């Protein structure tokens, strides 16, 4: 089978210490392994260091700049809006990814709509892991299947499908989580191939303590966007069970209390709110 043509997208924010080495190693590998099969697009996401100046001097790439920092997801969407290839491949600018792993993704793309590098061993800064584990559990609960790696930044996606879901994707790092759930919920084919990453070689992590609140909001947003009934049904079921118990007590006392009435109405309302939310979520996923 002929290798698919793909565009490599590198979002970069304050990566002046690594960007030259990352691009050089990437270009050398691609020229040897996939000649005439790809292009490299670097998006300078409003860097405040010399990243923007450096990428303008590098030959053989397309350089795009944001006037200010918009976010990781926003950078990917900016690049995708300008590609002509059938596939896009996202590659980090901090030196964590190995160019050699690109072939694993390409080889694993036959018959699939997205190929994700499933990280083995080291998976990023320890400070991020608790929130990632919560997101991972929520994601597997929503799609009811095991997900080897929810947040991996090294992934290859069919361009047409990325554009289909672009309006749903957040501007920040969590676009990887959202697109993964979108693919699974809509029955698209996702493949995972094992990769290894290195500790970031430059820049610094943008994770802050305040991101815990953002993570919570992301979890709630994902639930409401993809599977509202996975929340509403258990809640309405619990209320129904409580209604039965309280109603049984009322039956023994031959007296229907206000609590029983309130529980009954709440059970019905939450159930039908869940149905309505599920329909709205399905419509929203389809609307561009």
What is the distance between the alpha carbons of residues 21 and 257, in angstroms, rounded to a whole number? 73
Global pTM value = 0.82
The answer to whether residue 277 scores a pLDDT higher than 70 is yes
Highest mean pLDDT: which of 100-114, 187-201, 209-223?
100-114
Which are the contacts of 72, defined by CB distance < 8 A and separation ≥ 6? 11, 13, 45, 171, 172, 173, 175
Residue 71 resides in a domain: yes
The answer to whether residue 223 scores a pLDDT higher than 90 is no
Query: Which domain, by its residues, includes 163?
Result: 6-226
Task: Compute φ and ψ for 61, nearest 5 degrees.
Answer: -135, 165
134 with 215: CB under 8 angstroms?
yes
Residue 185 resides in a domain: yes
Query: Residue 82: what pLDDT?
Result: 92
Query: Residue 273: what pLDDT?
Result: 93
The CB density around residue 71, as the number of other CB atoms within 10 Å, is 20
Q: How many domains is the chain built from?
A: 2
The CB density around residue 190, as the number of other CB atoms within 10 Å, is 18
Secondary structure (DSSP) of 35-71: TTSEEEEEEEES-SSSHHHHHHT-TTSEEEEESS---
The answer to whether residue 209 scores a pLDDT higher than 60 is no
Residue 276 forms beta bridges with which residues?
none
Residue 186 resides in a domain: yes
What is the distance between the alpha carbons of residues 53 and 12, in angstroms, rounded to a whole number? 12
226, 252, 272 - which closes a domain: 226
Residues 66 and 79 in one domain: yes
Query: Residue 213: what pLDDT?
Result: 67
Residue 44 resides in a domain: yes
188, 207, 226 - which closes a domain: 226
Closest by CA to 105, choosing from 34, 176, 35, is 34
Query: Residue 256: what pLDDT?
Result: 74
Residues 244 and 168 in one domain: no
pLDDT category at 287 given cuts 50, 70, 90 is confident
pLDDT in tens, 83-92: 989 999 999 9
Output 138 or 228, whichever has higher pLDDT: 228
Long-range CB pairs of 214-220 (<8 Å, 24+ gap) are: 214/172, 215/131, 215/134, 215/135, 218/135, 218/170, 218/174, 218/177, 219/134, 219/135, 219/138
Residues 200 and 66 in one domain: yes
Residues 242 and 106 in one domain: no
Residue 145 resides in a domain: yes
Residues 95 and 156 in one domain: yes
Residue 208 resides in a domain: yes
Output 237 or 139, whichever has higher pLDDT: 237
204, 226, 248 - which closes a domain: 226
194: tokens are: 């094992």
Highest mean pLDDT: which of 94-103, 131-140, 193-202?
94-103
Q: Where are the beta strands (DSSP E) in 214-255?
A: none
pLDDT category at 211 given cuts 50, 70, 90 is low
Closest by CA to 199, choosing from 98, 71, 129, is 98
Residue 261 resides in a domain: yes
Residues 209 and 249 in one domain: no
DSSP 24: H
Query: Residue 206: what pLDDT?
Result: 53
pLDDT in tens, 120-167: 876 666 666 677 788 788 888 888 889 999 889 999 999 999 999 998
The answer to whether residue 37 scores a pLDDT higher than 80 is no
Query: Residue 49: what pLDDT?
Result: 94
Query: Residue 190: what pLDDT?
Result: 97
What is the distance between the alpha carbons of residues 36 and 100, in angstroms, rounded to a whole number? 17
pLDDT category at 283 given cuts 50, 70, 90 is confident
Closest by CA to 118, choosing from 189, 195, 191, is 195
Residue 1 resides in a domain: no
**Which of 122-131, 150-159, 180-189, 239-248 bottoms out in mean pLDDT, i.e. has the lowest?**
122-131
**Which of 53-57, 99-103, 204-208, 278-282 bottoms out in mean pLDDT, i.e. has the lowest?**
204-208
Distance from the Cα of residue 267 to its chain's centroid: 33
Query: Residue 172: what pLDDT?
Result: 82
Residues 216 and 266 in one domain: no
């Amino acid at each position: 089978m002929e290798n698919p043509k793909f565009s490599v997208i590198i979002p970069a924010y304050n990566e002046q210490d690594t960007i030259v080495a990352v691009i050089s190693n990437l270009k050398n590998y691609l020229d040897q392994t996939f000649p005439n099969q790809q292009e490299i697009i670097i998006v300078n996401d409003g860097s405040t260091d010399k990243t923007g100046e450096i990428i303008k001097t590098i030959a053989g790439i397309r350089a795009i700049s944001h006037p200010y920092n918009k976010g990781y997801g926003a950078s990917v969407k900016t690049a995708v809006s300008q590609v002509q290839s059938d596939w896009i491949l996202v590659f980090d600018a901090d030196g964590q990814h190995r160019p050699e792993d690109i072939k694993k993704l390409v080889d694993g793309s036959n018959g699939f709509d997205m190929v994700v590098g499933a990280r083995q061993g080291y998976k990023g800064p320890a400070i991020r892991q608790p929130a990632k584990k919560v997101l991972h559990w929520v994601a597997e609960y929503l799609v009811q299947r095991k997900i080897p790696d929810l947040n991996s930044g090294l992934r290859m996606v069919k361009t047409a499908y990325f554009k289909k879901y672009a309006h749903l994707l957040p501007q920040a790092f969590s676009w990887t989580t959202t697109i993964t759930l979108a693919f699974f919920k809509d029955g698209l084919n996702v493949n995972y191939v094992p990769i290894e990453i290195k500790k970031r070689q430059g820049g610094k992590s943008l994770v802050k303590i305040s991101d815990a609140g953002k993570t919570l909001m992301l979890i709630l947003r994902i639930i409401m966007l993809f599977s509202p009934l996975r929340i509403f049904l258990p809640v309405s079921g619990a209320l129904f069970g409580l209604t039965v118990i309280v109603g049984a007590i009322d039956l023994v006392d031959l007296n229907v209390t206000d609590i029983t009435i309130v529980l009954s109405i709440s059970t019905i309302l939450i159930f039908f709110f869940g149905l309505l939310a599920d329909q709205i979520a399905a419509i929203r996923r389809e609307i561009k």
